[in-house]
Amino acid sequence: MKKIGFLFLCVLALLTGCEKEKKEELIMVTEAGFAPYEYYENGEIVGVDVAIGEEIAKALNKELVVKDVAFDFIINEVQSGKADFGAAGMSITEERQKEVDFTVEYTVSNQVVIVKKGSNIKDFSDISDQTIAVQLGTVADSYVQENYPNAKIVEHKKYLSAVEDVKSGKADLLVMDKLPAEEIVKQNTQLKILDGVLFQDRYGMIVKKGNKKLLNQINAVLEDLMEQGKIEDFVLQYSKEEAPTGFFAQISNKFYQTFIYQDRYLYFLEGLKSTVIMALAAAVLGFVLGTIVALIRDFSESTGKIKILKKICDIYVYVIRGTPTLLQLMILYYVIFRTSSISVFFVGILTFGINSGAYVAEIIRAGFDAVGKGQREAAKTLSLSYPKMMRYIIFPQAIQKVFPTLGNEAITLLKETSIAGYIGIVELIKASDIVSSSTYDYFFPLIVSAILYLLLTFLLSKGMHFIERRMEKYVQN
């Protein structure tokens, strides 16, 4: 017994020691599509801000974890405590300072203008009434809104789509930070940057309002890095090489950069896996939830009982069908699970399952109505209870009648998962965004995502059609 006790104490001490060695995490939130500040390389998020984040984590004896979300959601992530601090080339503005606390400015941003080569826009005096592309919510967006009232301003969720507008002629120019603008022009030889600086901006990192301890710690690290000149070194380190010239050389290079270089095809495989798993899990949840809601409503209408429960189901269907899925995703993630450490992937499944359930409930209810009332009367004549009537008579026929519509709902659900990238889930569209942020080209990544979606919907359609034929044979027999 003494030996066993001694062995137990040794194991306990070993486990305790391992626990002590494990560092606490420091979560940094960003939008990884803004080179050289943050972008993907070799499957990891790298860049100037990430390098600074590593220095901050080192000073705090913590392990840095970088989280990639849409730019608009960065402040929400910090406010809700889902991230400790945010860094994404964020401009220090009065509006943002009301929501979060900013660190000291660690770099001055020169905002420049990108135009297509051969453009009639030669200097800043030519842009007063042009079509201007900007990224939504950035300081460039605010600046052009205030200073160019006669211009047509096109706001984009991502600045790479704004670049595509300039390349295609849908916009005359793009206003953005000089450093990422230089990276864009290196990879897109048909574009150029106008001489001069349109205006200057200041970048800082953000922490939750009132978190003075972390703010002071980050400020100390930033001031030390600036004093040593390390931030300038990081900028040089994460600047990219120029793309080759020549049409076929560019096509070949873009194909290589999209799929082969750094095994970027793995992003699409990861996105495909996430899309399939999320869609399947949400479809199962939606079918179960929708069936329960449809049965409750039908039972209440048939018997006059559980009216309160039916009213709750009616409100659920009305609210879910009357609001956008993206809004529901944001409410679940940033409001209901605001301070929870619940898996973001689970939140995605839950959101899409709840959304699908409302539509499935209506589909199944329509199936119940499609079954002749005479069959319900016959069931009553045979003294069948409501559960038995549903199980043996109504439900099988209803499902068989609405199965094609359920198939369409499954296809719609599969495509709706494309918005999950807003909260950091790497699905197919997010995978194409990750690759695009490195290649500065949307064409190949989006084409691949489209092909994969078409393949998934084709396989799903064939599978549903096969099940439908088997159901018809079963009903006939």
Confidence check: pLDDT of 167 > 80:
yes
Q: What is the mean pLDDT of residues 406-426?
A: 91
Within 10 angstroms of residue 473's Cβ, the number of other Cβ atoms is: 8
**Of 159, 53, 139, 155, the residue nearest 92 (C-alpha):** 139
First vs last C-alpha separation in the chain: 68
Q: What is the mean pLDDT of residues 228-253?
A: 71
Confidence check: pLDDT of 34 > 90:
no
* pTM for the predicted model, two decimal places: 0.73
- pLDDT band at 251; cut points 50, 70, 90: low
Among all chains, which residue has been given the structure tokens 């939830």? 289
Token pair, residue 153, equals 């301003």
- pLDDT band at 17; cut points 50, 70, 90: very low
pLDDT for the residue numbered 439: 76
- What is the distance, to the nearest Å, from the Cα of residue 358 to the centroid of all Cα atoms in its chain? 23
Higher pLDDT, 476 or 429: 429
Higher pLDDT, 34 or 477: 34
Q: Which domains does the chain have, with CATH numbers?
A: 23-106+203-237 (3.40.190.10), 108-202 (3.40.190.10), 265-476 (1.10.3720.10)
pLDDT for the residue numbered 438: 74
Higher pLDDT, 342 or 420: 420
Where does residue 402 rank: exposed (0-12), middle (13-18), buried (19+ CB within 10 A)? buried
Backbone angles phi, psi at 163, to 5 degrees: -60, -45
Averaged pLDDT of the chain: 87
pLDDT for the residue numbered 71: 86
